[in-house]
């Protein structure tokens, strides 16, 4: 039996009328709806329209019409929208956090952190976009009489498929550089977490983003995904590796580009000289932040034999002491999983591990007394690769401890996975930690941090390797991927060929001699 959390009061900003206004943006011509619920209680918040393939095609048509005008708008004017949006997003952060909590069940500390991501992305690209999008004149093949200019052109309409774990951050932050580059966007959020990105679109339009440029469609992935990909000029997807492979295959058939940030089975390596107190604090966030529902969170911790028990004792004590409950204030340190279905998946991983010999050091059980989808912070040891949680991303508040004898063994264990999204190395010897980090097969590696330092560094590309994805967000690449490069070449005088009456052999001699001269000139 599930009990409604005692004393839980839904935020005053989350009214039925407000939610109806948000979902009214979503096209649903067939009348089908999806019951979007408050995670903490299971109560229905609003009926979310479900978009048909025809609705999606119309959304793309509207977006394309708006995109033509937007692409012709000077970059300075486009960026002015995001200067205003930055202020609006910061000023409305608490209202956004209300929506994020209601729809996802995460604790308020993590919800408010999520609201900070779009303003951070805006701030970075407000500094870089104008330079990245400006034409760059380069030399041509023949000095003085030829030139070549690199021109950046928007892709057109970008399809974004956002996950439920960070719906606002991914739904809006991935759209910001696409819009700055002159594209339109059609976003498909997860049904469970459509409210916060819908509010983000509303704030962007309040800042001056043209109506129609940012469309939102909703539905289950198999129902709407194929049409969205077939209509898009580029696809940005964050989610599971299995779904990413399907999206990548379809994008390839359509000869369009895609960026895929996929799953991870992220390792944390603690070296013998590490500050154990700091490493434990990092592990608590890495394993249980956002209730373990972070693509870059840690699921495997590798400890030197000499300090294994010291870390284990402190880590179990810290995890057992976490304040886990439903509340719309900043008290709880961990909230709910996103849904009952996902809670059952997490439980199945733990049950499988226990049945095959793993030991539960703390947690290991659902907490229906706290809410329908709560699960205890769980630490396991004795996990092996014949267990689900030994090889597959659990994506919940579950982490396994492992010991190692040598650093080489730790590196081999960390790399023994099909994934490569994020990793962390902990040591008081930073140069040694950096050297070890270079041996880790991962798109992101943090030293003395779990993930925030890498992900918050918006100037550096962030993506996965192996089965953790293709492409990256952030950095110059995070904006340029939404553009095509056009080579505008100019020949001022006809010198590309034999002169009238010149024997072709003489022309070849002069051409080859010219290549040698050009090399010498370019070396100076």
Annotated catalytic sites, by residue? 261
Tokens of residue 51, six digits: 């978009």
- Cα–Cα distances (Å) from 113 to 97, 459, 461, in that order, read 9, 19, 20
Residue 437's Cβ-side half-sphere holds a number of Cα atoms within 13 Å equal to 21
- DSSP, res 292: G
End-to-end CA distance of the chain: 78
3-state SS track over 150-162: EEEEECCEEEEEC
Residue-level length of the chain: 524
Tally of helices (H runs) and strands (E runs) in the chain: 20, 20
Tokens of residue 348, six digits: 């199945």
Distance CA 469, CA 451 (A): 17
Sequence-ordered list of residues with C-beta below 8 angstroms from that of 330, at least 6 positions apart, any chain? 108, 109, 112
- Cα–Cα distances (Å) from 208 to 80, 88, 118, 213, in that order, read 9, 11, 16, 11
- Of 160, 191, 186, nearest to 48 by C-alpha is 191
The answer to whether 119 and 112 have CB atoms below 8 angstroms apart is no
* Residue 268 DSSP SS3: strand
Distance CA 160, CA 305 (A): 45
The answer to whether 126 and 86 have CB atoms below 8 angstroms apart is yes
| Main-chain phi, psi angles of 338, to 5 degrees | -75, -25
């Amino acid at each position: 039996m599930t009990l409604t959390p005692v004393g839980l009061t839904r935020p005053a900003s989350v009214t039925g009328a407000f939610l109806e206004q948000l979902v009214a943006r979503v096209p649903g011509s067939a009348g089908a709806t999806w019951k979007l619920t408050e995670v903490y209680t299971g109560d229905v918040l609003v009926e979310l329209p479900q978009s048909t393939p025809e609705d999606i095609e119309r959304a793309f048509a509207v977006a394309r019409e708006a995109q033509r005008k937007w692409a012709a708008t000077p970059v300075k004017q486009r960026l002015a929208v995001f200067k205003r949006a930055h202020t609006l997003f910061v000023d409305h952060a608490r209202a956004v956090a209300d929506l994020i909590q209601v729809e996802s069940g995460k604790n308020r500390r993590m919800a408010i952190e999520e609201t900070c991501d779009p303003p951070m992305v805006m701030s970075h690209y407000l500094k870089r976009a104008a330079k990245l999008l400006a034409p760059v004149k380069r030399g041509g093949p023949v000095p003085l009489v030829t030139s070549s200019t690199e021109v950046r052109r928007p892709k057109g309409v970008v399809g974004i498929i956002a996950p439920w774990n960070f719906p606002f951050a991914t739904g809006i932050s991935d759209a910001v550089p696409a819009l700055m580059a002159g594209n339109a966007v059609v976003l498909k959020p997860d049904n469970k977490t459509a409210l916060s990105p819908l509010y983000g679109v509303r704030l962007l339009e309040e800042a001056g983003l043209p109506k129609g440029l940012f469309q939102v469609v909703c539905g289950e992935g198999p129902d709407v995904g194929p049409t969205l990909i077939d209509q898009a000029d580029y696809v940005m997807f964050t989610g599971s590796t299995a779904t990413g492979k399907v999206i990548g295959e379809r994008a390839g058939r359509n000869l369009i580009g895609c960026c895929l940030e996929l799953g991870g089975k992220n390792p944390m390596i603690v070296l013998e000289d590490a500050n154990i107190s700091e490493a434990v604090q990092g592990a608590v966030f890495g394993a249980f932040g956002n209730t373990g529902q972070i693509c870059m969170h840690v699921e495997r911790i590798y400890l030197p034999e000499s300090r294994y028990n010291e870390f284990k004792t402190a880590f179990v004590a810290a995890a057992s002491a976490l304040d886990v409950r439903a509340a719309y204030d900043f008290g709880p340190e961990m909230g709910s999983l996103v849904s009952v279905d996902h809670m059952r998946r997490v439980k199945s991983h733990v049950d499988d591990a226990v049945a095959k010999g793993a030991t539960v050091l703390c947690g290991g059980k659902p907490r229906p007394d706290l809410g329908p989808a709560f699960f205890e912070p769980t630490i396991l040891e004795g996990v092996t690769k014949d267990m689900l949680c030994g090889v597959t991303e659990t994506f919940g508040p579950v982490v396994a401890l492992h010991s190692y004898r040598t650093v080489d063994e730790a590196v081999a264990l960390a790399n023994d996975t099909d994934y490569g999204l994020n990793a962390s190395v902990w040591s008081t010897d930073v140069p040694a930690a950096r050297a070890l980090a270079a041996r880790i097969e991962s798109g992101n590696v943090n030293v003395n941090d779990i993930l925030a330092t890498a992900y918050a560094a918006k100037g550096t590309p962030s993506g996965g390797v192996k089965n953790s994805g293709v492409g990256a967000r952030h950095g110059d690449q995070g904006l340029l991927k939404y553009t095509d490069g056009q080579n505008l070449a100019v020949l001022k005088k006809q010198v590309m060929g034999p002169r009238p009456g010149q024997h072709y052999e003489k022309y070849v001699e002069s051409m080859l001699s010219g290549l040698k001269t050009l090399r010498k000139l370019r070396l100076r």
